[in-house]
Amino acid sequence: MNQLFLLRHAKSSWASNHLSDFDRPLNNRGRRNAVDLGESFFEKKLKIDHVLCSPSARTKETFDIIQSISNFALDHKFLDSIYHSSVGNLIEILSQINLETASVMIVGHNPSMHLMTELLVNQTIDKFPTCTLAQIKIVYSWDKLRKHQNKLINFRKPNK
């Protein structure tokens, strides 16, 4: 059974008018939410074969915090193409994953994390706040992803 984890970055800061969208760091709430998620991964002994992460400051910081607490990622890569990615592009990225890889996480942005989840599981999801994690059971292989045929196993929103 393949599993896909879609994680929207934690809450970012808008405090500086001098930073580009790409360079915005997490705010204090975002850091707390990322720590909580990392602790959850640690408690569940969650390990993910391959993490694909947007290279923006807030996605990297989210990943780094969770990884430092739980050491969950067995392998990871930062991909420019995830920043401002479309759902079609994410499906293309996943289609190139080694077929022996059992679990993949994408750390990215909305609206693509939200739309990708809805597309894969054929379920309307009201909101996909920052630091939300969707865990999806993939029915077919990475190169044969089908819309509406996968199962949402877990949908974890952060505590405020």
Rounded to whole angstroms, how far apart are CA atoms 87 and 33? 25
Query: What is the tens place of the pLDDT at every residue in 90-148?
Result: 999 999 999 999 999 999 999 999 999 999 999 999 999 999 999 999 999 999 998 99
Q: Average pLDDT, whole number, for the chain? A: 95
Structure tokens at 12: 């970012």
Q: Tokens 């009201």 map to which residue?
A: 126
How many angstroms from the chain centroid is the CA of residue 111? Answer: 12
Q: Centre a 10 Å sphere on the Cβ of residue 99 and count the other Cβ atoms it contains.
A: 10
Q: Give me the pLDDT at residue 14, please.
A: 82
Output 1 or 85, whichever has higher pLDDT.
85
Q: Give me the pLDDT at residue 18, please.
A: 83
Assign 159 a pLDDT band (cuts: 50, 70, 90). confident
Rounded to whole angstroms, how far apart are CA atoms 38 and 46? 10
pLDDT-above-90 percentage for the chain: 91
pLDDT at residue 160 greater than cutoff 80: no
- DSSP letters, 41-79, are HHHHT--BSEEEE--SHHHHHHHHHHHHHH--BSSEEE-
Rounded to whole angstroms, how far apart are CA atoms 60 and 7? 12
Q: What is the pTM of this model?
A: 0.96
Q: Give me the pLDDT at residue 29, please.
A: 97
Q: Which domains does the chain have, with CATH numbers?
A: 2-104+111-156 (3.40.50.1240)
Q: Is the distance from CB of 145 to CB of 94 less than 8 angstroms?
A: yes
Residue 58 marked as a ligand binder? yes
